[in-house]
Amino acid sequence: MNELNPRGTLLIAGGGGFIGGWMALEALKRGFASVRSVDVKPIKEWYQVHTDADNVVLDLRNPDDCQRAVHGVDYVINLAADMGGMGYIEAHRAKCMISVLINTNLLCAAKDAGIGRYFYASSACVYNVDKQRDADVTPLKEEDAYPAMPEDGYGWEKLFSERMCRHFYEDFGLQTRVARYHNVYGPHGTWDGGREKAPAAVCRKVAAAKLSGNHEIEIWGDGGQTRTFMYIDDCVFGTLMLTASDFTEPINIGSAELVTVNQLVDIVESIAGVKLRRNYILDAPKGVRGRSSDNTLIRKVFGWEPNISLEEGLEKTYRWIYDQIAVGRGLPKIANA
């Protein structure tokens, strides 16, 4: 199977979130017969609202709501989770783990409904933390998730849910696909309030400093921690490619462009045309010291890997966040026909 049948119906769980909003837009562009976006948030709080989609408010922690969500559906893209940046997931480990109910009940509903394909969005947080203690990190291969010692809370929930997908495939024949996302960012995402990730947080801080004239920036940690960051367009493309494929093992979908947090700030400062004095908060949540995606497998299987440069993606992200701050907007929302 090389592509999903556009005459089918696609369910996007977590459709009111950052990735879900872009996923729904791409599915509509590809001409799916129906795109059903489901989220627990009131629609007025969705990050993007697409009027051509079937937009439904349901709580997918509830088995009955999962049954309603998959009714008449051919494919499921499960992006739904309670999560955020490092500050959020370190402070809300129990809340992040409750997301296991979403995948559990949605898998059961998908099995009962005879769903054709089921995609689960996992995370690089599943990887063994002992392999991520050095800023000069060796890129993480898929097998590095075991022996298991993932990020506490959120990482354990993701790893357990991966195993559920595997066993639903082995025991019931449900065609599950699993991607391990590495730090997805882009416009129309969370950029304030505590759930934002590093690229959005840095863009917000730089934009606010430029607009206010207070040329300082607060950086969590010493700025030497390393990460890779994937632009949203690569995430959406890779997800749909994997979902349509016959590849059944968890696979990295992430950029291999490794940078320090200091280098991330450098890039955003260059885009903004400003230089800021840096204040390092050494006791702030920092996560692992280094994390990078090894893309050997995805290149081998698909002849592709995320390739939008960090500079290109941050340019678009910074401009959008700058505009939100400049006009005093809160939670972003757009509508598409």
Spatial CA neighbour of 149 closest among 167, 166, 132 = 132
What is the C-alpha separation between 319 and 11, in angstroms, rounded?
Answer: 31
In eight-state DSSP terms, residue 335 is E
Count how many Cα atoms sit within 13 Å of the Cα of residue 14 in the half-sphere of its side chain: 21
Beta bridge partners of 54: 36
What is the C-alpha separation between 36 and 113, in angstroms, rounded?
Answer: 15
Q: How far is CA 51 from CA 67, 91, 333, in A?
A: 23, 35, 12
Catalytically annotated residue among 88, 154, 185, 322:
154
What is the C-alpha separation between 59 and 241, in angstroms, rounded?
Answer: 27
DSSP labels, 2-19 = -S--TTSEEEEETTTSHH
Residue 228 has phi, psi (to 5 degrees) of: -115, 145
What is the C-alpha separation between 124 and 155, in angstroms, rounded?
Answer: 8
322 is catalytic: no
Q: State both tokens at 334.
A: 């757009």
Q: Which residues are catalytic?
A: 154
